[in-house]
A and B are shown apart, each in its own frame.
Chain A
Amino acid sequence: MKAFEYAAPRRESELAGLFSGRPGATAVLAGGTDLVGLMKKMIVAPDRVVNIKEIASLYGISADSAGVTVGAVTRLDEMLDSADLDAFPAVKQAIRGINSMQLQSQGTIGGELCQRPRCWYFRNGCGLPTELGRMVERGDNRYHAIFGNRGPAKYVSASRIAPALVALGASVRIVGPASGEAVEGPPKNGAPVAQDGNALGEAIMPLADFFVTPRAPHQGETVLDPDQIVTHIHIPRDEQIASATYEVRQSEGPEYPLAAAAAALRIEAGVVTEARIVLGQVAPVPWVSEAAAAAIVGQAVTPESARAAGEAAVARATPLSQNRYKVQLARVSVERAILQAAGLETGGF
């Protein structure tokens, strides 16, 4: 690991002076389950590491009539234990899928969303993503994308909780320097002000817009600039929405799924009136399937309608040379996430 400076601010306002706008110069440390491993392999080699876990305002779960807000450094095991999140089974099921007590009790929700791709070319120092595109296309791409893979980025988005959160319509709060160009969205009154007078800007955006597919080497997998961080995730409350996450995993260990899907359904009088279906581990971003949603809306949830939605979800898949098998797994994930959300038997294991 390269030597680095270390800072552990205690207030959000202290962040303004700690970040450099230079890509890669500063790394944000939360649970460390991804970052520390990347630093050991020198895939990430920052000059400064900023530990945000000691900022009290970024920690904890609060609920009101509008929804539930989870601070970015809240641990995944604390989310599992929270009764406030019982209304969102898709989120808890996704966390339970991370079959390692250590990773659950060390990992944070902000870090889970911002973790880097598991792509083995990237993890072995080949970079991401443009220089990789051709290498992945010709090489071993069995775990790579089957959607959104026509550009240079062919890895899959690593987050296992993002599909559930996107399906539930969650939003993220981001802070960074107020003067920066990158803070999007309307500035809010009461944005925190740094000690040295530099204002911190705040943006709140749908989580669905947070993930992006990079087209060039300097672009990241999210909209975050090098001096911005995620501070909170907000899940809107809607008692009528039933949700579930279904992952296809090779075994019971803590490895990443081969395919996954989250479904959020509004079911009225036995018929789905609104649906949001989001696939995981199949594209460089959590992959929202309008086609699957359209296939299930207006239908009662049955094994047949769920299967039709699964087929609609993968109809336009573009598998690479070695990952055609993932099309079937993605289809089954969608089918079973819908069945599970509706409280029906999913079949399988």
Chain B
Amino acid sequence: MSHVQAPEASVRPTKNVHVELTVNGEPREFLCAPRESLLDVLRNRLGLTGAKEGCNNGNCGACAVILNGVPVNSCLVLGVEAAGAEVETVEGLAKGSHLHPLQQCFLEDAALQCGICTPGFLVSAKALLDRNPDPSEEEIRLHLAGNLCRCTGYDKIVRAVQDAAKANT
């Protein structure tokens, strides 16, 4: 672009930006165009397809990941913004074959049907329990209000988060 003059070093071109970050505790790197979202990068360049593309517009929460300690909709974050960041995705919850208490309770409480919203719920619920290990039902419902599920009616999801909180304490 020639219409603006800028210190060259601070403007990245439209293609192939090199980004280094930490994903689920491991250092990763990728090349991406500035217009690719973090969700695109996770799924298409890093092979982490746990985060789902739902509305792609920040309404449904299916793409939620934890970015530097806070839950975000990765469809609304640019991949280049994640340079130097720590990202946690649903793939980081289980330790080998040992499920995270949230995952175990989602299974036992049948807190999923079709499952496409489940990674987002798990990540949002983890962000909640990391911050508040013993949330009330109302706090859970408020915290998960940015995640949409069209199958379960939410009750079982809320019970599963309550049970996971009990299991943790």
Contacts and interface: CB of A to CB of B under 8 A. Distances in A.
A33 interface: yes
B3 interface: yes
B4 A254 contact: no
Interface in B76-126: 76-78, 80-81, 124
A6 B59 contact: no
A103 B37 CA distance: 16
A294 interface: no
Given A1-B35, A40-B57, A99 B142 contact: yes
Interface residues of A, number: 44
B34 A6 contact: yes
Interface residues of B, number: 43
B10 A32 contact: no
A3 B33 CA distance: 8
A25 B81 contact: no
B12 A5 contact: yes
Contact of B143 (A8, A22, A40, A101): A101
Contacts of B76: 31-33, 36-37, 106
B11 A252 contact: no
A14 B10 contact: yes
A77 B124 CA distance: 14
Contacts of B164: none
Contact of A254 (B59, B75, B80): B59
A77 B68 CA distance: 14
Contacts of B128: 101
Nearest to B148: A253
Contacts of B49: none
Nearest to B63: A102
Interface string A1-14: 11111111100001
Contact of B70 (A9, A18, A32, A106): A106
Contacts, number: 129
A105 interface: yes
A2 B7 contact: no
B165 to A, nearest CB: 16
Contacts of B80: 6, 8, 51
A247 B146 CA distance: 18
Given A99-B145, A254-B146, A7 B78 contact: no
A26 interface: yes
23 contacts: A6-B11, A7-B10, A8-B12, A8-B81, A17-B7, A18-B6, A20-B3, A25-B3, A29-B78, A29-B81, A31-B76, A36-B58, A36-B76, A37-B57, A47-B1, A48-B4, A49-B78, A100-B145, A100-B146, A105-B71, A106-B77, A195-B7, A253-B148
Interface of B: 1, 3-7, 10-15, 17, 33-35, 37, 56-59, 61, 64, 70-73, 75-78, 80-81, 124, 127-128, 141-146, 148
Given A29-B78, A29-B81, A33-B58, 18 more contacts: A3-B15, A3-B34, A7-B12, A8-B81, A14-B7, A17-B5, A20-B4, A25-B1, A33-B76, A36-B58, A37-B57, A39-B35, A51-B81, A101-B71, A102-B124, A105-B71, A106-B73, A254-B145
